[in-house]
Every structure is written in structure tokens, then in C-alpha cells.
Amino acid sequence: MSRRPHFLQPLLKRASEGLVLRVEGRDVPVATTVESAFDSTTRKRGLLGRDALSPDVAFVIAPCSGVHTFGMRFPIDLIFAARDGRVTKVRHSMPASRISIGFGAFAVIEMAAGAVERAGVREGDQLVVGHA
């Protein structure tokens, strides 16, 4: 992963357990479990092979500006974020066999269908990763 600063820096530290994803200024987290896919192996595997994703999990792929759902068994919500954590695009309930791109995105956050809407995440929000 790039050495330039980004909002996902806390996930690169050894003590990344217990980190949550939230919208800056809001007390309720978007996700209480944050999984990262920063290397080739985890990025290629992604969510393939899973039957579902818990609504409290955020699967973060970075650097990344586009994902696909070929081979997926369930729909997912997507949050595209810039390097500073600003949400640039949101896609709800993307079904299997689709591609979605967020031009200029640094990271894509995959969540269970409906989770992003329940959390109230919108374009322009500022995401932060930190301790609960």
C-alpha cells in the first residue's frame, strides 16, 4: 500500500483489532468490524466463497477504484472513498455479475446490502477509522 498518508492508516498498524469505521462527527459506527484487503491475495479473494456478510462488517479494499460481483452469492453495498476518507460515491444492493467504478476513489468499502443506507452514509461524508 502507498506510503502517502490516507484515512486507512490505522488499519496498517499491528494493533488494528477493535477499530471501527464511522462518519466523522457521528457517534454510531458504520461498521464495528473492519476487514482489510491491502495485498494481492486478499484483494483477489475478496468476498468470494462467502454466503453472506454481517451488517456490522466493512470489507475495505485499497488502493482500489472499482470492483465486480462475478461469482458473488449475495448483493452488497459499496462506498467509494478518496484518500482523505471523503465518500465520493455510494452504490446500494449491487447484485451478482456487475461492475462498479468510482473514478478517483482510493478505496472501496463493501458491506451487506442495506447496511450503508441504515448507517446513513452519503456522498460527501467524511469517513474515519479509529477505536470504538
Q: Per residue, what are the HEC states of 15-35? A: CCCCEEEEECCCCCCCECEEE
Question: In the chain, what are the domains?
Answer: 26-118 (2.60.120.1140)
Any idea what DSSP says for residue 117? H
Q: Who contacts 14 (Cβ-Cβ below 8 Å, separation ≥6)?
A: none
pLDDT in tens, 2-53: 578 899 999 988 666 789 999 999 999 999 999 999 988 887 777 877 889 9
Q: What is the pLDDT of residue 32?
A: 96
Alpha-carbon gap, residue 87 to 75, rounded angstroms: 20
Q: Is 117 left (phi over 0), alpha (psi -120 to 50) or beta?
A: alpha
**pLDDT exceeds 70 at position 89:** yes
Q: What is the pLDDT of residue 17?
A: 77
State pTM to two decimals: 0.93
